[in-house]
C-alpha cells in the first residue's frame, strides 16, 4: 500500500477511534498483512501501553466502504476488551494448560461479542470518504 493510502486509512481509523471514545489509544497502521490471511484486518496492542497496531488485509482498498467501516470498527472495539484479554493471558501464564482451554473459549466468545457490537455500531459511524 502506498504511503498516501496508509495516510488516508490512518486518518480514518483515528477518526473512528475518536468517535468510539478511544482517544487515549494511539493507532499505528502497519504496512504488513494480518498473520491470518482470512482476516480483513487485525489489531495488536503493546503490553503496558495504549498503543494499537493495525494491519489491513490484501485487497483492503477494494472491499467497499461498508465492509471497511465494519472491519475498522471491529478492530477498534477490540481495544475495549484489551484489559479482559490481559486477565486471560495472565491466567495462562499462571495455570498453563489448565487455563488454555478456558482462554481459547474466552477468545471465541469475545470475538462473537465484538462482531455483534461491530455489526450494530458500524452503521452509525462515518464511512471512509475516499476508497478509490
Ligand atoms: Zn476480532
Place of cell 457490537: 117
Q: Is 58 exposed, middle or buried (0-12, 13-18, 19+ CB in 10 A)?
A: exposed
How many angstroms does the Cα of residue 126 sit away from the middle of ligand 1? 20
How many angstroms does the Cα of residue 107 sit away from the middle of ligand 1? 9
Can you give the pLDDT at residue 24? 97
How many angstroms does the Cα of residue 115 sit away from the middle of ligand 1? 7
Can you give the pLDDT at residue 90? 86
3-state DSSP call for residue 55?
Answer: strand
Which structural domains are found in the chain, ordered by start? 3-124 (3.30.2010)
Dihedral pair phi/psi, residue 53, rounded to 5°: -105, 120
Q: What is the pLDDT of residues 94-117, one digit of tens each?
A: 888 888 888 889 999 999 999 999
Which residues share a beta bridge with 54? 29, 43
How many angstroms does the Cα of residue 72 sit away from the middle of ligand 1? 10
Residues of the chain above pLDDT 90, percent: 67
Amino acid at each position: 500500500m502506498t504511503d498516501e493510502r496508509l495516510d488516508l486509512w490512518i486518518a480514518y481509523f483515528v477518526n473512528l477511534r475518536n468517535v468510539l471514545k478511544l482517544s487515549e489509544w494511539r493507532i499505528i497502521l502497519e504496512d504488513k498483512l494480518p498473520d491470518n490471511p482470512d482476516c480483513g484486518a487485525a489489531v495488536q496492542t503493546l503490553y503496558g501501553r495504549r498503543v494499537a497496531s493495525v494491519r489491513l488485509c490484501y485487497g483492503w482498498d477494494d472491499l467497499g466502504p461498508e465492509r471497511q467501516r465494519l472491519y475498522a470498527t471491529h478492530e477498534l472495539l477490540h481495544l475495549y476488551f484489551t484489559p479482559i484479554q490481559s486477565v486471560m493471558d495472565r491466567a495462562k501464564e499462571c495455570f498453563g494448560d489448565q487455563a488454555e482451554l478456558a482462554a481459547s473459549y474466552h477468545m471465541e466468545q469475545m470475538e462473537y461479542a465484538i462482531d455483534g457490537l461491530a455489526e450494530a455500531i458500524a452503521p452509525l459511524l462515518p464511512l471512509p470518504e475516499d476508497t478509490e
